[in-house]
Amino acid sequence: GSSDAATTLLGLNHLWQLGWDEDRLAQLGLTLGADVPVFVRGHAAFAEGVGEILTPVDPEEPWYLVLVPQVA
């Protein structure tokens, strides 16, 4: 939901050549959902308030573990 809303805002901004900056799109996104601004900005962030205060974070290199159980 929230990532779809953010993608729609970004797409319409581009399609309609509005020229809105990231801050304006994030503010509009906040009216749609608390976590929409983080998807508008497109980077990992620590969110405060209802999602309107974002502090960028640089997560460490991720490690993934894939388990495949032998269950029939």
Domain that holds residue 40: 2-56
- Within a domain: 65: no
Q: Give me the number of domains the chain comprises.
A: 1
Residue 68 pLDDT: 92
- Within a domain: 30: yes
Give the DSSP H/E element, type plus range, for residue 70. Answer: none
Model confidence over 27-64: pLDDT tens digits?
999 999 988 999 999 988 888 888 778 899 988 887 88
Residue 59 pLDDT: 82
Q: Please answer whether residues 33 and 5 qualify as being in contact, where contact means their C-beta atoms are separated by less than 8 angstroms.
A: yes
- Within a domain: 72: no
Residue 62 pLDDT: 76
Residue 11 pLDDT: 98
Q: What's the predicted TM-score (pTM) here?
A: 0.72
- Within a domain: 63: no
- What is the token pair recorded at 54? 């974002």
